[in-house]
Amino acid sequence: MKILCIGRNYAEHIAELQNETPTDPVIFAKPDTALLQRNQPFFMPDFSQDIHHEIELVLRVCKNGKNIEEKFAPSYFDAIGLGIDFTARDLQSQLKSKGLPWELAKGFDGSAPISQEFKPVHGFADLNNIDFRLAVNGEVRQQGNSGLMLHNFNKIISYISRFITLKMGDLIFTGTPSGVGPVTVGDQLTGFIGEEKLLDLAVK
Ligand code: MG
């Protein structure tokens, strides 16, 4: 099982970090040890003073595939959940400024909490109109809608599979909307798809 992530997939988030808008999706990976499940608490690591939350819709891959055409992509994921792409922003900035890969800023232990429940794809009226949000201590910090993605789910599946074979059980983080910001010890993070709370974890 692997965790693949899309960077820079929402225009307003690209603007807030003053990044360039890519023509192709930006892809990176997190190791399976990044996974945090069942609303286990997130423990602040000692190597960063600036851990940011990035709430994201997460696809669950249900079938192995390579070189998947966009029109066939819908049959390769069967459920959508929520995840947080925790990012050590200070470390990432340092590495980016040196032109180095930012793997450690994104792939550290516990950097990928996911919701226990994933919603079956067939339960959504429109995959291009899914509202989701993140609240910190009850205050909404990030709000997104899948319709605002620069590269939609099918494009993401198709693009990744040109390079990396997708396997059943893989997870794909699909990018974060604007509003990313630091978390601190004692914060309670809650994530919603529509009005349903799927994530609820403490920062310790
Ligand atoms: Mg992200």
Digit-coded pLDDT (tens) for 17-70? 888 888 889 999 999 999 999 999 999 999 999 999 999 999 999 999 999 999
Tell me the mean pLDDT in the region 165-180: 97
Tell me the mean pLDDT in the region 171-186: 97
Ligand 1 centroid to Cα of residue 188, in Å, is 19
Phi, psi of 196 (to 5 degrees): -95, 125
Q: Are 87 and 110 in contact (CB under 8 A)?
A: no
Pairing of strands 171-173, 3-7: parallel
Distance CA 204, CA 194 (A): 27
Tell me the mean pLDDT in the region 174-193: 97
Q: Say yes or no to pLDDT of 13 above 90.
A: no
What's the pLDDT score for residue 103?
95
What domains can be seen in the chain, in order of their start residue? 3-202 (3.90.850.10)
Ligand 1 centroid to Cα of residue 45, in Å, is 18
Q: Radius of gyration over alpha carbons of the chain, in Å? A: 16
Ligand 1 centroid to Cα of residue 136, in Å, is 17
pLDDT in tens, 94-145: 999 999 999 999 999 999 999 999 999 999 999 999 999 999 999 999 999 9
- Determine what percent of the chain is predicted with pLDDT higher than 90: 93
**CA atoms in the 13 A half-sphere facing the CB of 70:** 7
Q: Say yes or no to pLDDT of 172 above 90.
A: yes
Ligand 1 centroid to Cα of residue 54, in Å, is 5
Q: Where are the alpha helices (DSSP H) in 36-194?
A: 89-97, 103-106, 153-163
Ligand 1 centroid to Cα of residue 49, in Å, is 18
Ligand 1 centroid to Cα of residue 134, in Å, is 13
Mean pLDDT of the chain: 96
Ligand 1 centroid to Cα of residue 5, in Å, is 7
Ligand 1 centroid to Cα of residue 7, in Å, is 5
What's the pLDDT score for residue 76?
98
pLDDT in tens, 60-102: 999 999 999 999 999 999 999 999 999 999 999 999 999 999 9
Ligand 1 centroid to Cα of residue 6, in Å, is 6
Ligand 1 centroid to Cα of residue 125, in Å, is 25
What's the pLDDT score for residue 17?
87
Ligand 1 centroid to Cα of residue 21, in Å, is 14
Q: Comparing C-alpha atoms, which of 155, 180, 173, 153 is closest to residue 23?
A: 155
Ligand 1 centroid to Cα of residue 66, in Å, is 24
What's the pLDDT score for residue 4?
98
What b-and-e string marks burial along 42-63, b requiring 16 or more CB atoms within 10 Å of the CB? bebeeebeebbbbbbbbbbbbe
**CA atoms in the 13 A half-sphere facing the CB of 161:** 23
The residue type of 28 is F
Ligand 1 centroid to Cα of residue 107, in Å, is 11
Q: What is the CA 61 to chain-centroid distance, rounded?
A: 14
Ligand 1 centroid to Cα of residue 146, in Å, is 14
Length in residues, the chain: 204
Quick one: DSSP state of residue 81?
A: E
Distance CA 44, CA 160 (A): 31
